[in-house]
């Protein structure tokens, strides 16, 4: 668990870049690379919160924004549900395909929110053919890609939780998911304690592995739950994100084969914060109409869901802002969580 925060993530140096390219494709070498890259061991925080605390009844949105090609439009689209907290995955920072922008920072500015951004991967290339069509340059200024939390209230504490370090997308001896396009890093989660009118709540944005079977995601989720027990013991917790459930089971993509749901329930979490129905659609980057999946979820512990739904990623002109729809939930924090004011 990493609790270091910085105002800016340091770029990869030429020496570090050369080491990434020339290191052996092994899990051991990948772990050494991770420890050598400071941006992999910190969260970037910034933005400005617009309130001192969240209300006792708040709305949370979880959205895989697929690189976040359109930060301002994506932020404006969220006005349909007016979330107090936004859990993002697949946000770029310094990537050619998104104009070298810090897409999390741009969304936070548009929404008048504070943000915490963490690196999932350092990407060494520009992406696939559909992504290259959006590239403004033939290089990435930073190459960061990761998860984020946006909040209308300030963070009390934050943590980056790495769910694997063996180089699933880098190391040949770990069965690299795409050995032709190596990335340094791995799936991760960001946890943030945010004050509400009825006491603090821990919010978690996460993204589990797509190129793996259910057992792999089970272990990642177990790692996450164990870390949260340390980071936020005896505190209400809300977890949201792209869990890639059933992604390895074409053509049906049946999420019910995943074992992480029962695992979470055994630890006191409730999946009733997520609306029924699939959460993917064809997009500008992923034009695959046959891939209809339920990948995105919200789970809560010691919280009550009073409403839930999915916000289509199609904007008012029918343009897909992402290949994922946004899932959202209206949540109540029990009064007994409020601090003693006597």
Number of independent structural domains in the chain = 1
Q: Is 341 within the bounds of a domain? A: no
Q: What is the mean pLDDT of residues 88-115?
A: 98
pLDDT in tens, 136-170: 899 999 999 999 999 999 999 999 999 999 999 98
For the chain, what percent of residues have pLDDT higher than 70?
94
The CATH number of residue 101's host domain is: 3.60.10.10
Provide the percentage of residues in the chain whose pLDDT is more than 90.
87
293 assigned to some structural domain: yes
Asked, for residue 143, whether it belongs to a domain, the answer is yes
DSSP letter, residue 2: B
Residue 111 lies in a domain: yes
Give the Å distances, CA to CA, from 302 to 136, 238, 279, 334. Answer: 46, 9, 25, 8
- The confidence band for 184, taking pLDDT boundaries of 50, 70 and 90, is very high
Mean pLDDT for 10-35 is 94
Range of the domain at 244: 5-335
Per the listing, tokens 């932020």 go with 75
Q: Shortest CA distance to 119 belongs to which of 79, 86, 154, 92?
A: 92
Residue among 244, 208, 228 nearest 300 (CA):
228
Candidates 7, 208, 235, 233; CA nearest to 102 is 7
Closest CA to 202 of 112, 261, 121, 116: 116
Q: What is the pLDDT confidence band of residue 342, given thresholds at 50, 70 and 90?
A: very low
- Model confidence at 133, pLDDT cuts 50, 70, 90, reads very high
Tabulate helix, strand, coil % of the chain (nearest 5). Answer: 25, 30, 45
Give pTM, 2 decimals: 0.95
Q: Which residues are bridge partners to 95 per DSSP?
A: none
Residue 247 pLDDT > 60, yes or no?
Answer: yes
Candidates 152, 231, 232, 183; CA nearest to 40 is 183
Q: Calculate the average pLDDT of the chain.
A: 94
Residue 303 belongs to some domain of the structure: yes
Average pLDDT for 245-257: 91
Torsion angle of alpha carbons 26, 32, 34, 38, nearest 10°? -160
Question: Does a structural domain hold residue 340?
Answer: no
CA distance 36 to 53: 37
β-pairing verdict for 157-162 and 201-207: unpaired
Alpha carbons 190 and 204: distance in angstroms, whole number: 6
Asked if the bond preceding 251 is cis, omega within 30° of 0, the reply is yes
Q: Which residue has the tokens 């998911």?
A: 177
DSSP letters of 171-224? -GGGT-S-TTS-EEE--EEEEEEE-BTTS-EEEEEEE--SSS-HHHHHHHHHHH
Q: Is residue 122 part of a domain?
A: yes
């Amino acid at each position: 668990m990493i609790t270091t925060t910085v105002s800016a993530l340091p770029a990869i140096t030429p020496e570090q870049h050369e080491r990434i390219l020339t290191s052996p494709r092994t899990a051991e070498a990948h772990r050494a690379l991770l420890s050598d890259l400071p941006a992999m061991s910190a969260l970037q925080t910034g933005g400005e919160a617009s309130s001192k605390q969240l209300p006792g009844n708040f709305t949370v949105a979880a959205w895989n924004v697929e690189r976040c090609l359109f930060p301002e439009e994506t932020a404006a689209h969220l006005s349909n549900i007016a979330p107090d907290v936004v859990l993002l995955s697949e946000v770029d920072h310094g990537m050619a395909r998104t104009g070298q922008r810090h897409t999390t920072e741009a969304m936070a500015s548009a929404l008048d929110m504070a943000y915490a951004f963490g690196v999932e991967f350092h990407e060494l290339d520009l992406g696939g053919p559909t992504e290259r069509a959006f590239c403004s340059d033939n290089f990435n200024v930073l190459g960061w890609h990761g998860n984020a939390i946006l909040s209308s209230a300030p963070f009390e504490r934050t943590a980056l939780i790495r769910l694997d370090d063996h180089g699933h997308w880098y190391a040949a001896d770990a069965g690299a998911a795409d050995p032709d396009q190596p990335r340094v890093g791995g799936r991760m989660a960001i946890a943030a304690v945010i004050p509400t009118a009825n006491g603090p709540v821990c919010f978690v944005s996460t993204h589990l592995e797509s190129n793996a079977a259910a057992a792999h995601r089970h272990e990642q989720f177990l790692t996450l739950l164990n870390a949260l027990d340390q980071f936020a013991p005896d505190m209400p917790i809300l977890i949201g994100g792209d869990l890639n459930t059933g992604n390895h089971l074409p053509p049906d993509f049946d999420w019910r084969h995943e074992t992480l749901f029962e695992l979470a329930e055994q630890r006191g979490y409730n999946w009733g914060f997520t609306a029924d129905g699939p959460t993917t659609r064809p997009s500008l980057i992923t034009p695959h109409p046959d891939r209809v999946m339920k990948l995105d979820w919200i789970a809560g512990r010691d919280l009550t869901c009073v409403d839930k739904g999915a916000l289509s990623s199609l904007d008012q002109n029918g343009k897909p802002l992402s290949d994922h729809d946004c899932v959202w939930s209206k949540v109540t924090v029990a009064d007994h969580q409020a601090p003693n004011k006597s």
